[in-house]
């Protein structure tokens, strides 16, 4: 039988294909200091209809304090057009105006919300092997942070009619309600390793290959650790630093990188500057389970220009308790 479709008929982008279905989450809402103020129950989908793409989102803002007045939509459904492509995803309003930049299963977006009066930096990474989408939004007035949203999502294909999918979502949201408020704290007493493979893209969104990542980790005190990161493959780097934490603020204290970061629940944003080089790393690291496994999005900059975007999951394996009980004889 001949194919009746035109050769020129628009096809969905790779990312659009990957997000097919209805996504369900309970993102946490944080104030600028990292205080957890509540949740925003969300169902959302990006629907490809050949000549147009419509993104819709239904929210239930379960929050208290001043942020509720700003972000509660009183049940109004978000619905906006998207220009879909593998190069850019352009958001055409009325709810969001701006664009997202896809790197395979990752989209790094920057857009404006007229209703919220905020400029958003949103990062979404799909983890098919985990059945998750790892989501975060930083919300700004110009360069001033005003709030942070973050959380995990699961997908369904027939949620309205499928009781099993409905129960799956209900169970997931219950677990998210408990897990979302947990802070970003790495193993306090156990040494060990994180290992995994990152996909690596250049600044033209072309995949360069993979990098195998090993992070050797050894606590020094209850709030500090010595860390060595080794990357082999598309990115070849080894760097060591001491990291420490005071509440939600994390610092990276050399010798190879210096910088800091702030955690909002299970998510940590940081900037690390490589000593003696015009090279830096901006990262978003997420604790995705109680095993300390990390979902990482690492963006490297050379002379302030984007050079690499790398992302993947690092699995934690403990080796030994290095801060055991002490005694005086």
Domain ranges of the chain: 14-179, 190-321
- For 190-321, CATH number out of 2.40.128.20, 3.30.2010.10, 3.40.50.300, 3.10.20.340 equals 2.40.128.20
Q: Where are the beta strands (DSSP E) in 34-188?
A: 36-48, 53-63, 78-83, 89-92, 97-103, 106-113, 118-127, 132-141, 144-156
Q: Measure the CA–CA gap between 188 and 66, rounded to whole angstroms.
A: 34
Contact assessment for residue 166 and residue 24, using Cβ atoms and an 8 Å cutoff: no
Partnered with residue 253 across adjacent β-strands are 258
Nearest to 281 by CA among 269, 293, 294: 269
What confidence score (pLDDT) does residue 1 get? 39
Return the structure tokens found at 290. 């109680």
Return the CATH number of the domain spanning residue range 14-179: 2.40.128.20
Using DSSP's 3-state secondary structure scheme, residue 179 falls into: helix
Return the structure tokens found at 92. 């055409």
What confidence score (pLDDT) does residue 9 get? 62
Q: Do the two domains 14-179 and 190-321 of this chain adopt the same fold?
A: yes
Tens-digit pLDDT profile for the chain (329 aa)? 344 444 446 789 999 999 999 999 999 999 999 999 999 999 999 999 878 999 999 999 998 888 999 999 888 999 999 999 999 999 999 999 999 999 999 999 999 999 999 999 999 999 999 999 999 999 999 999 999 999 999 999 998 899 999 999 999 999 999 998 899 999 999 999 999 999 999 999 999 999 999 999 999 999 999 999 999 999 999 999 999 999 999 999 999 999 999 999 999 999 999 999 999 999 999 999 999 999 999 999 999 999 999 999 999 999 999 999 999 99
Q: Measure the CA–CA gap between 23 and 222, rounded to whole angstroms.
A: 38
What confidence score (pLDDT) does residue 38 get? 95
Give the angle subtended at the CA of 126 by the CAs of 239 and 176, to the nearest 5°: 95
What confidence score (pLDDT) does residue 64 get? 83
pTM of the model: 0.94
Contact assessment for residue 59 and residue 86, using Cβ atoms and an 8 Å cutoff: no
């Amino acid at each position: 039988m001949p194919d009746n479709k035109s050769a020129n008929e628009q096809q969905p982008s790779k990312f659009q294909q990957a997000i097919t279905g209805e996504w369900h989450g309970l993102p946490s809402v944080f104030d600028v200091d990292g205080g957890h103020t509540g949740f925003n129950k969300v169902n959302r989908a990006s629907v490809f209809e050949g000549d147009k793409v419509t993104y819709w989102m239904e929210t239930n803002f379960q929050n208290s304090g001043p942020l509720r007045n700003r972000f509660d939509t009183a049940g109004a459904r978000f619905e906006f057009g998207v220009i879909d492509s593998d190069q850019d995803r352009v958001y055409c309003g009325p709810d969001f105006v701006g664009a997202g930049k896809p790197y395979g299963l990752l989209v790094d977006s920057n857009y404006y919300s007229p209703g919220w009066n905020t400029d958003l930096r949103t990062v979404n990474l799909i983890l098919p092997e985990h059945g998750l989408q790892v989501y975060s939004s930083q919300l700004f007035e110009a360069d001033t942070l005003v709030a942070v949203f973050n959380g995990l999502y699961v997908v369904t294909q027939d949620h309205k009619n499928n009781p099993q999918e409905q129960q799956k979502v209900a169970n997931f949201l219950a677990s998210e309600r408990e897990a979302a408020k947990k802070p970003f704290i790495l193993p306090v007493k156990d040494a060990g390793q994180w290992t995994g493979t990152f996909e690596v893209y250049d600044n033209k969104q072309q995949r360069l290959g993979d990098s195998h990542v090993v992070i050797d980790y050894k606590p020094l005190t209850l709030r500090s650790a010595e860390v060595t990161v080794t990357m082999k493959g598309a990115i070849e780097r080894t760097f060591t630093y001491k990291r420490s934490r005071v509440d939600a603020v994390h610092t990276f204290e050399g010798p190879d990188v210096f910088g800091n970061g702030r955690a909002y629940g299970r998510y940590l944003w940081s900037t690390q500057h490589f000593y003696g080089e015009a090279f830096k790393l901006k990262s978003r690291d997420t604790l995705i389970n109680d095993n300390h496994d990390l979902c990482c999005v690492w963006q490297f900059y050379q002379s302030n220009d984007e050079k690499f975007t790398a992302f993947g999951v690092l699995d934690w394996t403990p080796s030994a308790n290095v801060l055991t009980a002490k005694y005086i004889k």
